[in-house]
Structure 1
């Protein structure tokens, strides 16, 4: 799994995830997300376009992050989930807890009220696999 972070404002970041999100990789993502909160990020966009598979462990990371962000008056938006991931999100009702957008650009625009000034990368960092 690869994770790339792009800070789009002092309190917001896009976290691009690539690879399977499961029991083997979920903890690494959880640490990345927790680190963003420590650095003052209160609004996170999780770009899931590069996630071909997600099991209950990955879902647990997302739900935990949504709850953690609520505790700091923050938000989590999900962007561009693949068809398989979107099905898991729909079946579990996660979309009722956070907004789901078709693209990371749309999520950033909704969050910032304008187009993101940080280019959204579609290439995944595979060094962390």
Structure 2
């Protein structure tokens, strides 16, 4: 977030095995590795269920899509899941055209994704624990 061409990634732990990953900036060949490292770190820390908040991603190319698909496949290998939340119109179009929605759930809001993940219909997740990385 500190550099115009960078990618901001913020992690909010919402359970012992779940986290919300908020992504801000363009997700492309130059920034995809930043997200990939953050997602891999979550797996190392025992997170098996990830919600990717894409509301702050104005653009995503095939490199960004590759990172998401790779993460979906890796999470399946550990009996986990990935949910995508609040994609911008441009990102949603890429996800729809490539059929990513057949591999993971896509939600209109982060709260809806968290409610589904946590099995809660009536309460929002606790986002009090945060780990921030900006590039």
> TM-score per shorter chain, which class?
over 0.9
Tell me the number of residue pairs that the alignment of Structure 1 and Structure 2 aligns.
Answer: 124
- The list of structure 1 runs, each at least 4 consecutive aligned residues, that deviate by more than 6 angstroms after superposition, is none
1:86 equivalent in structure 2:
92
TM-score by length of 1: 0.92
Runs (5+) with no aligned partner, structure 2: 1-6
Determine if contact 2:14/2:127 at 8 Å carries over to the other structure.
no
TM-score for both structures, normalised by structure 2? 0.88
Distance, in Å, in 2 between the alignment partners of 1:128 and 1:117 is 23
Q: Equivalent of 1:118, from 117, 126, 129? A: 126
**How large is the Cα RMSD of the aligned pairs?**
1.4
Deviates more, 1:31-40 or 1:111-120: 111-120
Contact kept? 2:13, 2:127, Cα under 8 Å: no
Could you give the per-residue CA deviations for residues 86-123 of structure 1, whole angstroms, max 9, x where no partner exists?
00000000000000000000000000012333249xxx
